[in-house]
Structure 1
Amino acid sequence: MSTPLRRTAVLTAFLACLAAGACALFWQVARPVPARADLFEFTLKDERELGEKFNALVRSKLPLVDDAEIQAYVTDMVNRVAKSMPPQPFPLTIGVIQNNALNAFAAPAGYVFVFTGLILNLNHESEVAAVIAHELAHVSQRHLASRYEKMTTLTIGQLVGMVAGIALGAAAGAPEAGSALILGSQAAAAQTYLSYSREDEREADQVGMNYLVAAGYPPQGMVGAFETIRRMRWLKGQGTIPAYLSTHPDVTERLGYLKDRINQMPKAIRDRKENDGKFLRAQTIIRARYDDPPKAIGYYRGLGAKMTCLDRLGLAVALGRTHDIAAARTAFGEAMACGGEDPLWLREIGRFEIKSRRYDLAEDYLRRSVDKNPNDLTALFEYARLLAQTGHFAQALPYMNRVRMNFPDNAEIQTAYGQMLGQSGDLFRAHLHLAYAAVYENNERQAEFQIKKTKDLAKSEEQKQELAKLEELFKKRTELLKRRIF
């Protein structure tokens, strides 16, 4: 099998896995064992190229959470678990996908994605970490890598059938539709290439437990995660759970041997306590800011007297997303009464006051939030926009540029930065960043328009070099679109 066709087969398998919503943390080609790279005839350069394409795919088709607190929390947790893995050739780049599925996956070259459903539906940080540890174990133990040699049996017709199923499912906004088509036309191939064996699952359980314990988490997190996901399997059907809990060995059996292993661990490890402070903050942000508002409001009001200060903040944020401004204002008053000067509370009430058009109050809250937590780029984004709105461009532009540099492929941030630059009189960079925004939105017509404007304004050598980088990115993404990789 030629290298290009082999590369296409591996790419297609990953996309099929993604469309089915059943990706365990996916493979990374050149892991510490040299035979892995030899198996696929891929170099690190090949892996980097594929990783960039996968990353572009995910960010193009799936909604990502750009809240700085959520991003930092998930990044820290994944890196904490990954410390026990063998050395990796690429640094981990972690994203959070807004999706209720209990899932996580990784593309080549260290791109890792975690679904918000893991955080929202599990009970402790240790349980989320356990799922990530299990998936990382599949990577480190080369379980998927051992199957890719069989990719040589795929025909062009099978590849087209899989890709067509993915394209249809993605276009309809229903990955399960793509999965159904794939399984309908290529059932044998999908089972052959995307399934784990009994031995794979046992090993991932055991090695994943090693990673979890080495990261300092209570080992009971893995049992708790499996029990919760098994319960959701019966409540919602298998489509909402990761593949590793719908395959053999039986989940009850797996829970049994994991509990036996925990019982044999030293008492100091068995007695580790949960530390869920950051986890509960992340859960609150996800539920209040990204879940359906009536659902989130119902959840918080259903807590009654059990509501914590964090729950009161969640209720206020959820109400703030509705048209009931009066109820939201009352809820924020109660939340602030017990939340005090916590920068998260200040950030969220600041955002609410922007919506309420009380800009002086909003500016005060956001400034205090940024002062207390300079690393909260979400607060900094809102503060920079507000400063620009009131004409303070000299202050706003450095803040927004800092946010942009941390989220370079975020179209909303690129648009805000471009608009600020335009309002401040820097027309070349204004059109440059509005062009980047259009490229990341896959808006080809708008990108071409903004690139033309940028080209007309490019006079210096430095500006021409910046234009060349933009045009190269636009060319690459346009080619990907035409090949229907997206």
Structure 2
Amino acid sequence: MCKFKKWISAGISFLILFSGLIPLEMAHALTIKEEEELAEEFLKAVFENYEIIKDPVIEGYLDHVGQKLISAMPQQPITYKFYAVRQDAYNAFAGPGGNIFIFSGLFAVLENEDELAALLSHEIAHVSCRHISEMMEKSKKAGMATLAGVIAGILIGLGGAGTVGGALTVGSMATGQSMALAYSRENEMQADQIGRANLQKAGYSLGGLQSILKKIRATEWFGTEEYPTYLRTHPATEERILYLDNLLEKNPPPPTKKNYAFARAHTRITALYTDPDTALGLYKKQTLQNPEDAMAHYGYGLALNRQGNPKAAMDHLKIAIEKNPNDADMIIDLGIALFTAGEYEAALKQLERTPGSALGEEIARLYAGRAMMALGRHDQAADTFTAILKEDPDLVEGYFYLGEAEGKRNRFAGAHFNLGEYYLKTDDLRNARFHFTKAMEYEKDPARMETIRQRLKEMESRHRFFGGDDKAPGPEGDEITE
């Protein structure tokens, strides 16, 4: 990534990581329109620097809990969106425009939906109270030397809080820091007050907020390298816990209810998006301790397939499905394991059982198309990938597999065009340019030729402005026999 893009990303990261260091004054905030425009650039930077988990079960579940909380609030002027970040860290944050993020490391230590709802409700409250927009408006007035010091600190100190970069960042903000922290504590207390009210209106227990804050606080003793970002960006944690302890001592919360949707999403995030060896050991131990625990078998099956042992995975996924025969997404996971094992006919049959209501229905169709490819049914596969992309043009992998299918059908214009689309959408301009140029050699349709010219022109502009990076080829290589 070129220096210019790094500086843009770092500037926005500054707003995320050090928002607690900017004084809150109630005089003015960004307008909703300004905040939404800024949110677009913010998301570009986040997506460029973090791996967002693209898992329909986890995405759907996060959105379900988030929307349940929002439905308990007065009508909101913005649309909230919820994301899981693949990183082993205790962190959650809200960005401009109602974009809420929780890290996989924090999600993995949650024990119930009450704890997840508590985290999301607090971040939603920061947005609805306009804390973020106010801080961003005030950040315009920060001295450039100070801002440059913070950005430089972030660029140098990506390794953790205890690095030289971390010291540089804190040092650059030393003047007035105590006043800034007083204001940020005020923000936290207000977000807690609003968040608690919304939690209860949505039917959640305040015990979830109490328990998750104590979990996060406990990691404080691990040392500076592992000191959770959440504590650095959400100060006054001890005061918040003490308040909750007193409140709940007088009004004990009801016992937490078991929630199947939480258990499934939590199992997926642990088995598929945390350390693979740790996840494998965890679920192996759970299945031995409790052979009747369907979710333990589900997690073990997912972890085994992730580790390249699909045949063993199938045994445990089948146990999970026997106990939960109506879980369509478990059926999809068994189909994926069959595909990974090379049992393409069985995989296709399994995946075609998927009901349209399944959260992972699109993934099932994608793997069904890949199974068709493996079975030599290239026309059927191409039709499947084309239909998927018509419904969801943002499914980047679909372009790669459609390109492969077109190549197998000797339709080289379509093959190169779709591979060009794939590489363009993954910011690999070198490979994108190669495939679009090759597509131009084969293409006869004037409209498609004009589209290719526009793509090449767009890439040239991006290359001049940002510079280019060479990246690795697609999911399984992109050889086209011509």
Considering the TM-score relative to the shorter chain, is it more than 0.5? yes
Q: Structure 1 residues 396 and 175, CA, compared in 2 at 3 Å: closer, same or farther?
A: farther
| 1:141-170: CA deviation from partner (whole Å, max 9, x where unpaired) | 223444445434544444444434444556
Deviation at 1:242, TM superposition (A): 4.1
Q: Please give the secondary structure, in 2, of the residue aligned with 1:96.
A: strand
Q: Please give the secondary structure, in 2, of the residue aligned with 1:112.
A: strand
Q: Structure 1 residues 147 and 347, CA, compared in 2 at 3 Å: closer, same or farther?
A: closer
One-letter code aligned to 1:226: L
Aligned equivalent of 1:36: 29
Contact 2:216/2:231 (8 A) holds in 1: no
Contact 2:60/2:359 (8 A) holds in 1: no
Are residues 1:256 and 2:242 paired?
Answer: yes
Matched pairs, number:
457
Are residues 1:368 and 2:353 paired?
Answer: yes
**Mean Cα displacement is larger for which, 179-188 or 436-445?**
179-188
> Aligned match of 2:257 in 274, 278, 296?
274
Aligned equivalent of 1:306: 290
Aligned equivalent of 2:364: 379
Q: Structure 1 residues 298 and 125, CA, compared in 2 at 3 Å: closer, same or farther?
A: same
Gaps of at least 5 residues in structure 1 are 1-7, 27-32
Aligned equivalent of 1:215: 202
- Distance, in Å, in 2 between the alignment partners of 1:111 and 1:479 is 31
Q: Structure 1 residues 478 and 361, CA, compared in 2 at 3 Å: closer, same or farther?
A: same
One-letter code aligned to 1:351: I
Contact 1:289/1:317 (8 A) holds in 2: yes
Q: Structure 1 residues 90 and 121, CA, compared in 2 at 3 Å: closer, same or farther?
A: same
Aligned equivalent of 2:13: 15
- Distance, in Å, in 1 between the alignment partners of 2:439 and 2:162 is 41
> Aligned match of 2:166 in 157, 170, 180?
180
- Distance, in Å, in 2 between the alignment partners of 1:426 and 1:138 is 52
> After the TM superposition, which residues 277-296 of structure 1 pair with which residues of structure 2 at under 5 Å, given as runs?
277-296=260-279
- Distance, in Å, in 2 between the alignment partners of 1:160 and 1:381 is 46
Deviation at 1:352, TM superposition (A): 1.7
> After the TM superposition, which residues 11-90 of structure 1 pair with which residues of structure 2 at under 5 Å, given as runs?
13-18=11-16, 20=17, 35-37=28-30, 44=33, 46-85=34-73, 87-90=75-78
| 1:211-235: CA deviation from partner (whole Å, max 9, x where unpaired) | 2122222222211211222223334
Deviation at 1:274, TM superposition (A): 2.6
Q: Structure 1 residues 71 and 374, CA, compared in 2 at 3 Å: closer, same or farther?
A: closer
Contact 2:104/2:273 (8 A) holds in 1: no
> Aligned match of 1:120 in 108, 129, 137?
108
Q: Structure 1 residues 333 and 472, CA, compared in 2 at 3 Å: closer, same or farther?
A: same
Contact 1:63/1:98 (8 A) holds in 2: yes
Q: Structure 1 residues 411 and 302, CA, compared in 2 at 3 Å: closer, same or farther?
A: same
One-letter code aligned to 1:214: K
| 1:384-417: CA deviation from partner (whole Å, max 9, x where unpaired) | 2212332334543454345546765554343223
Deviation at 1:285, TM superposition (A): 1.0
One-letter code aligned to 1:201: E
- Distance, in Å, in 2 between the alignment partners of 1:189 and 1:458 is 62
- Distance, in Å, in 2 between the alignment partners of 1:124 and 1:334 is 23
> After the TM superposition, which residues 333-344 of structure 1 pair with which residues of structure 2 at under 5 Å, given as runs?
334-340=319-325, 342-344=327-329
> After the TM superposition, which residues 369-408 of structure 1 pair with which residues of structure 2 at under 5 Å, given as runs?
369-370=354-355, 373=358, 376-401=361-386, 403-404=388-389, 408=393
Contact 1:9/1:154 (8 A) holds in 2: no
- Distance, in Å, in 1 between the alignment partners of 2:255 and 2:454 is 50
Q: Structure 1 residues 243 and 295, CA, compared in 2 at 3 Å: closer, same or farther?
A: closer
| 1:239-296: CA deviation from partner (whole Å, max 9, x where unpaired) | 4534357765351x3223224445677x9xx547535211110111112122222211
| 1:442-464: CA deviation from partner (whole Å, max 9, x where unpaired) | 22211222332344556545425
Q: Structure 1 residues 377 and 232, CA, compared in 2 at 3 Å: closer, same or farther?
A: farther
Q: Structure 1 residues 211 and 66, CA, compared in 2 at 3 Å: closer, same or farther?
A: same
Gaps of at least 5 residues in structure 2 are 1-5, 470-482
Contact 2:94/2:126 (8 A) holds in 1: no
Deviation at 1:331, TM superposition (A): 3.7
